[in-house]
Amino acid sequence: MKENKPISPPSFKEALRFWFKLGWISFGGTLGHVNIMHGFLVEKKKWISSSRFFHALSLCMLLPGPEAQQLAIYIGWQLHGKKGGVLAGIFFILPSMFILLALSCIYVNYGNQPWMDAIFSGLKPAVVAIIFHALWSVGRKALHTVSHYLLAGLAFASIFFFNISMPYIILGTIVSALILRYLWPSLVYKKKAPESHESLNEDDYFLNNKTVGGRNFNAKLLWKQSLLFLFLWMLPLVCFYVLSPDFTFWKGLVLFFTQTALFTIGGSYTVLPYVAQFSVSKFNWLSKSQMVDGFALAETTPGPLIIVVCYVGFMAGYNHFDGSLLMGTVGLLATTFYTFLPSFLFIFVGGPILERTRGSELISDVLGFVTAAVVGVILNLTFYLGKDVLFPQGLMLHQLDLMALFWVFVSLLLIFKFRLNVVYLILLSMLYGLLQWLV
C-alpha cells in the first residue's frame, strides 16, 4: 500500500530563482508566460495543482492589469506569503523594464541614423501584423453572439469616430452587460462547461484544492492594506511636488498611468489604444511614429506587452525636458511604478474577495462582454497605427507604401500559416529593413 508522505514546502530561495529567471525568458505574451509557469510550477515541481493554477488564472483575468504578472504575484503569495507575492511580481517585470530602458536610450541617441531608421521601417509593418493577429485571436474567442458583435462594433465606432475615452467604454460595456443579462438573458452567451483541469491526484501537490487559502479576511486588514497602498501611491507624487520644478507634468503623468492601470481589463490590448491616442494626440508626449516604434521595442523584450507604457513614460520625460536622458529615465521608472503597483493591490486586497466569486455566472458574463468590446478597441488600434505605416505621406492611394504592405502580408503569412514566434518575426523584420537600406 502506498504511503502518503506530507509534501515539504518549496524553498523560498528556489522560488526566487524561478521568478527571477521567468522575468528574463517570458516571451510570447500571456500565453507564453502561462505555459512557462505551468511547466515549472505544476508539471516539474508540483508546487501547485493544475486545477488551482487555472483557477488562479481565471481570477486574475477578472482583475485589471496584466494577468501573467498577477498570476505570479498570486502564486508567490500562496507559496511564501506577502513577501513571496511582492518579489514574484517585481522580478516578473524588472528585467523587461531595464531592457526597455536601455533600448529607449539607444533609440533616442541613434534613432535618426539611417541604419536605425531602416530597422524600424522593417519592424513597423510587422507590428501591424502582430496587432491584427491579436485582433483575430481575441475576436475568435470573444465574439459568440450578435450582441457581442454589435458591442464590438459600437466600441470601435465610439473610439474611432467620437473619440470616447476608454474608461467610459468599459463602464458602458459593464452597464450594457448587466441590463442585457437581466432584461434579455437569451442574448447573453452561456458558456459551455469549462474543460476540466483537475489534477489526477490533488494530494501530490503542495498547493491544491484543500490547501490554498486567501479567502478569509477581515475589514480591518483590508483597510490597513488599502491605506498602505495609498501611502505608496502618494510617496513619489510628494517627492515630485517637493523636488521637481514642473510638478504639473509629473502629476499628469502619474494620474494618467494610474487611470490606465485601473482599466486594463481583458488584457493589455484593452488599454494600449487609449495610451497611444492620448499620449500622442492630447499630451503630445511623443509622435505617432515614435509610438509605433515603441510597440516594436516592447515586442523584443520579455514580460507583458503593457510594458510599452514604460517607453511612453521615457519619451514623455525625455521630450518634455528637452532631451534629458535623466528625466526620461525618471519618467520610465514613474510609469512602471504606477502601472504595476495596482496589480499588487488587486491581488492582496481584491484576490480574497474574488475567491468567493468562483463559478459566478454574473462575473463571467460581464467579463465576456468586456472582452467583446476589447475586439472593437483593438480594431481601432489596427487602423490607428496601420494608417501611418501603410500611408506615411497621407491617406491617398498613390501614397501607399508597397514595401510596407508587402511585409505586412509576409508577416501575417508567417504568423498564421507557419506560427512563427514573435521574437523571430521581429528579428527577421529588422533584417528585412536593413536589406532594404543596403540594396
Cα 146 from chain centroid (whole Å): 27
pLDDT band at 55 (very low <50, low <70, confident <90, very high): confident
6 located within any domain: no
Are 47 and 205 contacting, i.e. CB atoms less than 8 angstroms apart?
A: yes
CB neighbours (10 Å) of residue 209? Answer: 14
212 located within any domain: no
pLDDT computed for residue 241 by the predictor: 96
Cell numbers standing for residue 156: 470601435
Are 304 and 94 contacting, i.e. CB atoms less than 8 angstroms apart?
A: no
pLDDT tens readout for residues 114-137 = 999 899 999 999 989 988 988 898
pLDDT computed for residue 247 by the predictor: 96
What is the pLDDT averaged over residues 26-47? 84
Separation between Cα atoms, residue 148 and residue 166, nearest integer Å: 18
Are 427 and 296 contacting, i.e. CB atoms less than 8 angstroms apart?
A: no
pLDDT computed for residue 193 by the predictor: 46
DSSP symbol at 220: H
21 located within any domain: no
The DSSP secondary structure of 294-307, one letter per residue, reads HHHHHHTSSS-GGG
Which of 4-8, 101-105, 192-196, 296-300 is the least confident region?
A: 192-196
Q: Of 377, 372, 423, 174, which Cα lies nearest the Cα of 272?
A: 377
What is the pLDDT averaged over residues 208-221? 62
pLDDT band at 6 (very low <50, low <70, confident <90, very high): very low
What is the pLDDT averaged over residues 313-326? 97
Are 125 and 408 contacting, i.e. CB atoms less than 8 angstroms apart?
A: yes
Domain limits for position 168: 96-189+218-438
- Give the helix/strand (H/E) hosting 385: helix 361-390
70 located within any domain: no
Domain count, the chain: 1
Q: Of 75, 59, 66, which Cα lies nearest the Cα of 19?
A: 75
The DSSP secondary structure of 318-329, one letter per residue, reads HHHTTS-HHHHH
pLDDT above 70 coverage of the chain, percent: 90
207 located within any domain: no
Burial class (CB in 10 A: 0-12, 13-18, 19+), 230: exposed
Which residue reads 448587466 in cell numbers? 178
Cα 128 from chain centroid (whole Å): 17
Q: 32 pLDDT exceeds 80? A: no
72 located within any domain: no
Are 91 and 83 contacting, i.e. CB atoms less than 8 angstroms apart?
A: no
pLDDT tens readout for residues 280-300 = 989 999 998 899 899 888 888
30 located within any domain: no
247 located within any domain: yes
In terms of pLDDT, which residue wins out, 377 or 90? 90
